[in-house]
Structure 1
């Protein structure tokens, strides 16, 4: 039994090392940061964020206030045993991180879904991918060249409404944060592994990929999607600024999708997969 456990652990370490190496080679972890620059330098992309900023910030303030009132004291008591004198400060940072995560989950489900889709599609249009976007929404000739101004009515929406699964996973992983440094890193990696593929839900829909095709596509690029997800998740955990980073991450995901379309062989392969599904 002991040998079997050791062998299993060895295989898991090797698998994680392979994923990390693949992610580093892919450069996908850079796209969230490219998204920040691109978003900041394309003012027409501000419109979806500006339209939902006030209600989202209000939601975030309410969640943060609730978390400090009802969860700070119990958590500082637990962290006292792991952080000692630093427990008070560690708990403040932890509660801010928890509040930011909860705000992201709820706002994406209830408030900013359409705005994130507009940001993704607008970035693709700005990158010359009008034909790709036109498969799932109307593209107009208006907007004086501004990408967002050219976006018409959506044909369908790729992002599911609120699912308790995201919150369940979040609370399952939450105790990791009680372990200083290492636990928080593990929390971000586990969340990022899930969030990476989710960032391309819109891209998969635009390509007409089935659920099976998506799973296979992501599995073949697990390192790239995990590295993107880890970087994006870390940014969205930043208190107060997390909501803005959710838009810049969406922009980065769209830039990645546009690059995939431009690479020789990638686009034809996906189109062939989509044809086989019909």
Structure 2
């Protein structure tokens, strides 16, 4: 019996060390990549380029209408039940924490619906428009027609490749499963944000992968190899989109940030190809 307990304790110790090492590697990768800065860069770039505001402006009225309906329904139907639970955890502060929780829930529900229907094309145009603004027109042309004149949005023509995938039930189920973590003060909220950030990060470059023509297996391998940077980006993006009322703005600025990151990745690939191409040609000549 004693030997079994000792063996199990040793196994747990090994697992804990392995998990710690994995977490350390992910954190190091995230820190070196600087991916967590791209949502912040997206805010400033979006603010400095009025042409990129056009897709958001065109969808703002229907979004606000949907948000008002969801918010009113959530307060009417769920405030008192959630207040009863939060009162056990937060005491007198439950009145405020419940209101903040409902604001966050309403924002999430609204964004989940609107991103798949109301805002889908607008977000697509914002991503492609940002790439055009960064002179990454070659890759954009792989997925849509481009006009010769106009600003970064006016140049966008008909999409040649299907836009982002539609509603994902799995993501909504995950959100509902993770939601109770918020009832655990501080630590629970941190875990909730990181878990959502990881899921959010996996989707930020869906359009980029689509333009590159990558297969599902290639995307999965890329995300696995760069899990730390994508989780870092997703976590910062999630925190910004959790801000009530401003979430729609940050959803677009995060899209801009993701496109800026994609443009930098693409630029590095092109630069790498340019630097290695002469060497390859020289090797080929020698082989002849």
TM-score range, shorter chain: over 0.9
Aligned to 1:72: 79
Aligned to 2:30: 23
Q: 4+ runs of 1 displaced by more than 6 Å?
A: none
Q: Assess if the C-alpha contact under 8 Å between 1:260 and 1:266 holds in 2.
A: no
Question: Is the deviation greater in 206-215 or in 5-14?
Answer: 5-14
Of 9, 24, 27, 2:16 maps to 9
TM-score (norm 2): 0.89
Q: Offset of 1:204 from its aligned partner?
A: 0.4
Count, aligned residues = 267
**Distance change (3 Å), C-alpha of 1:100 and 1:70:** same
Per-residue CA deviations over 1:207-229 (Å, capped at 9, x if unaligned) read 11100000111111111000000
Aligned to 2:67: 60
Q: Where does structure 1 lack aligned partners over 5 or more consecutive residues?
A: 270-278
Of 123, 126, 136, 1:129 maps to 136
Aligned to 2:193: 188
TM-score (norm 1): 0.92
Structure having the higher Rg: 2
Aligned to 1:256: 261
**Distance change (3 Å), C-alpha of 1:75 and 1:153:** same
Per-residue CA deviations over 1:103-143 (Å, capped at 9, x if unaligned) read 11111112111111100000000100111100110000132
Do structure 1's residue 170 and structure 2's residue 175 form an aligned pair? Answer: yes
Per-residue CA deviations over 1:178-234 (Å, capped at 9, x if unaligned) read 112211111110011011120100000111110000011111111100000000011
Q: Partners in 1 of 2:183 and 2:273 — Cα distance?
A: 47
Aligned to 1:275: none
Q: Where does structure 2 lack aligned partners over 5 or more consecutive residues?
A: 1-7, 275-288
- Matches for 1:1-278 after TM superposition, within 5 Å: 1-143=8-150, 146-264=151-269, 268=273
**Distance change (3 Å), C-alpha of 1:52 and 1:67:** same
Q: Offset of 1:163 from its aligned partner?
A: 1.9
Q: Offset of 1:80 from its aligned partner?
A: 1.3
Question: Is the deviation greater in 9-18 or in 190-199?
Answer: 9-18
Question: Is the deviation greater in 125-134 or in 94-103?
Answer: 94-103
